[in-house]
Every structure is written in C-alpha cells, then in structure tokens.
Structure 1
Amino acid sequence: MKKQVLNIFTVLALGLTVIGCKSEKKTETSEAKEVVEVAVEAKYKAIPEESMVMWEANKIVGGHTGTINVSNGVATTKGDQLVGGNFIFDINSLACTDIEDEGKNANLIKHLKSADFFEAETHPNASFEITSVEGNNVSGNLMLKGIKKNITVPVNVVTTEDMMTITSDEFTIDRTEFNIKYNSGKFAENLGDKMINDNVKLKISIKAKKA
C-alpha cells in the first residue's frame, strides 16, 4: 500500500513539473532588426571578467545553471540614457555552477559545447546587439549558433561617474528556435525523464567602464 501511495505522489510530482515547464512564459522573438541610429555622447567598454549571461536549463526532473562570459562589448549613452550597444559572448567560457564534482562538471561542459548543443567549434561566439531602447525596455538581436532573433527585455541601468551596470530581467527563450534541439520533445519521442525543456532562462549582467 505504501508503495502504491509513493507511486501516486511520484506521478503527481512529475505531472506538476511538466505543467510548470509548459506554463513558463517565453520571451517573444521576431526576425532580426536594423539598429536604430541615435546620436552617441559616451561609450562604456564591458569588463569581461565581470560581464556575463546567466543561464538555467531544466529537464523533467532536475536541471543545471551556469554562465557564459562576455569577451568584449560596448554600451553607448546619450545624456544618462542607454541608447545602444553590442556584446560578444565567448561560448568556450561556458561554465556550470551547480555541479560540484569536477569530473561530472567537465563532462557536462564538454557535451554542451558539442554539436548536440552550442557547437562551439563552429560557432565560438554568441552576441546581443541593441537595436532600440524605449524607456527601460531594450530590444536587440540575440545570436546563437549563427541564428539571429530580435527580443525585447526590461533592463535596469545604473551609471556613476565612470562606470555602468546593465542588468536585464530574467527572460526565457525557446532553444529550438536557435537550432538547439537535443532531447527536445518536439523532435523526439519516448524520451521520458531524459527530455529537456525547450525553454531556457537567461539573464544578462554587464559591468562597463567609461572609455
């Protein structure tokens, strides 16, 4: 009897996990857009070791978190307003932050850099190019694996005399739109608990110094 009750709770838990995955709100994407040209008064150069995109990817049960560092990038301002910018992310800096075992961590990173996911050898960089800014909403072309999609995300910008921090709200993309289809339920059947959620959570954090 106890075993049956446990099985029922297991099924319910899995069901709630699936429902939770399906209910995640994906950030709307559109075709890549042209940059809106705006007069620039100042430039801030990204500090690579303090600038990154943070990611979270989930399976039916469990998941992983990590970072990808900026290799270079520039934010531009007019007055005290952010008006543009372009940031390059080094896929080979990809790190996992939730696995303490060094061997398991290294195996995951190796798999993520393979053709199943980011295909780092062919596509060593990702990027985010700001196309327009309206209030706190920043629109930009996000590029992964050579595929560009325009997204809009709220950001918080703090500027001091010679420093700037840009932090986006957490947003969610559908990885399959960027040709990352490994163990996606859209493209394979009977994956069971090996199925990986298509939606990936991202958050961009940039620290830059006035050039």
Structure 2
Amino acid sequence: MKKSALSLVLAVFTGVTTMASTPVDNEVKQVKTTESTVTWKGYKVTGSHHGTIALKSGSLIFDGDKLTGGEFVVDMPTLVSNDLQGEYKGKLEGHLKSDDFFGVDAHPTSKLVFTSVKATGKNSYEVTGDLTIKGKTNPVTFDISIYGNKATATMKVDRSLYDVKYGSGSFFDNLGDKTIYDEFDLVVDLVF
C-alpha cells in the first residue's frame, strides 16, 4: 500500500512539474481596429499630402511579454486625405484609389505579415515583414514599440516596388515639379 501511495504521489508531482515547465503557447492579441489609426504622408517636389486609412483586421502575437509576430489587413477603400477640403480632397482621394495609384477596386486590401521580430530594447523591436500592395509582395523592415496594450510603428514604403508608377521619377523622365517621390511614410498607432 505504501508503495502504491508513493507511486501516486510521484506521478502527481511529475505531472505538476511537467505542466509548470511546459512553455505557454503564443498568445494572439486582436487589434481593436476602431481605436487604432494608420496615418500616411506622401511627398512631391512641391509639398506633401497626408491622411488616414483604416485597418480591416490585425493581431499581434506574444510569447509572455515578448512580441513574436503579427498580421494586419488594411481596408484600402477607406483611404482619405486630411489636408485638403471640398473638390480638391475628392479629386486626390479618387486619384489615389484609381489604377494610377493603388487600384482599390481590384485590390481592396493590403496585407502585412511579420516574418521576423528582433528585440532592440525593453519595449522595442525591429520587425521584418512581407507587405502586399496591389498583389505584389516585398519585404519591409520597421521599428515597433509596445507599451501595455498599445503599440506604435513607423515605416517607409517604396511605392515603386508595388507597381504604383504615377508621377514617379523611377519610371518617367522630365517630370520636373510634377514628380511624386516613391517613398511614403506610415505611422501606425495600435490598441489591442
């Protein structure tokens, strides 16, 4: 009887210690899309334009308190300009959504999938991911900071890699002051 009781105690103890040392699976935290913002800024020789675009969905993956992954889908038809009003605002938004730029009718979403995450500080990471715009996928690298249930990321995107050619000096000569620079900025503020 003592032998069976000892075996039972050892079995329970082994089971408990095995469970305690088993790593926790990655935790997926859904991004609150209505509370999160994506701000864009594009540049041309004579100035710049800026606005917002909404996330359709998003998630960050954590192992404990360490970021390990993420995936985001951007709702391209929500692209708006915040620096113009009236007729000019409508013209710019329509042009950005047209095939000259992002071809929103044929490509209603863009997507970012993290492929590697490297810690650079206590709450900071360098992320490389696959960004898909207009059906073309290219790697991008950017910095992201996590504080509690919020994250902030900034990135530069080279539109010429995604077949967004309009007004680009990479594709057209002699544009002069009509040149629109290939790189645009994104500032992403996430709540999850």
Q: TM-score range by the shorter chain?
A: 0.7 to 0.9
**Which deviates the most, 109-118 or 195-204?**
195-204
Cα RMSD, aligned residues only: 1.6
Corresponding residue number in structure 2 for 1:62: 47
Deviation for aligned residue 1:207? 1.2
Q: Which letter does structure 2 place at the counterpart of 1:191?
A: L
Distance 2:103 2:24 in 1: 37
* Matches for 1:95-134 after TM superposition, within 5 Å: 95-99=80-84, 101-134=85-118
Residue 179 of structure 2 corresponds to residue 190 of structure 1: no
Q: Which letter does structure 1 place at the counterpart of 2:184?
A: V
Give unpaired runs (5+ residues) of structure 1. 1-37
1:125-175 Cα shifts (integer Å, max 9, x gaps): 01111112110111111111111111221110112xxxx21211x332221
Three-state SS of the structure 2 residue aligned to 1:50 is coil
Corresponding residue number in structure 2 for 1:152: 141
Corresponding residue number in structure 2 for 1:24: none
4+ runs of 1 displaced by more than 6 Å? Answer: none
Residue 168 of structure 2 corresponds to residue 179 of structure 1: no
Q: State the structure with more CA Rg.
A: 2
Corresponding residue number in structure 1 for 2:70: 85
Q: Which letter does structure 2 place at the counterpart of 1:142?
A: L
1:156-195 Cα shifts (integer Å, max 9, x gaps): 0112xxxx21211x33222101110101112222222111
User: Would the aligned equivalents of 2:49 and 2:83 in 1 still touch at CA under 8 Å?
Assistant: yes
**Bigger share in strand:** 2
User: Would the aligned equivalents of 1:56 and 1:200 in 2 still touch at CA under 8 Å?
Assistant: yes
Three-state SS of the structure 2 residue aligned to 1:49 is coil
Task: Note closer, same or farther for the CA distance 1:177–1:79 as it changes in structure 2 (3 Å cut).
Answer: same
Corresponding residue number in structure 1 for 2:126: 137
Normalising by the residue count of structure 2, what TM-score does the alignment of the two structures yield?
A: 0.80
Corresponding residue number in structure 2 for 1:207: 191
Give unpaired runs (5+ residues) of structure 2. 1-22, 120-124
- Work out the number of aligned pairs and report it: 165
Three-state SS of the structure 1 residue aligned to 2:152 is strand
1:65-121 Cα shifts (integer Å, max 9, x gaps): 11111011111111111111111000001011111x222111111110000000000
Identity of aligned residues (%): 33
Bigger relative contact order (CA 8 A; separation at least 6): 1
Deviation for aligned residue 1:204? 2.2
Task: Note closer, same or farther for the CA distance 1:166–1:194 as it changes in structure 2 (3 Å cut).
Answer: same
User: Would the aligned equivalents of 1:52 and 1:89 in 2 still touch at CA under 8 Å?
Assistant: no
Normalising by the residue count of structure 1, what TM-score does the alignment of the two structures yield?
A: 0.73
Distance 2:183 2:70 in 1: 26
Corresponding residue number in structure 2 for 1:46: 31
Q: Choose from 79, 82, 106 the match for 1:94.
A: 79
Distance 1:123 1:86 in 2: 18
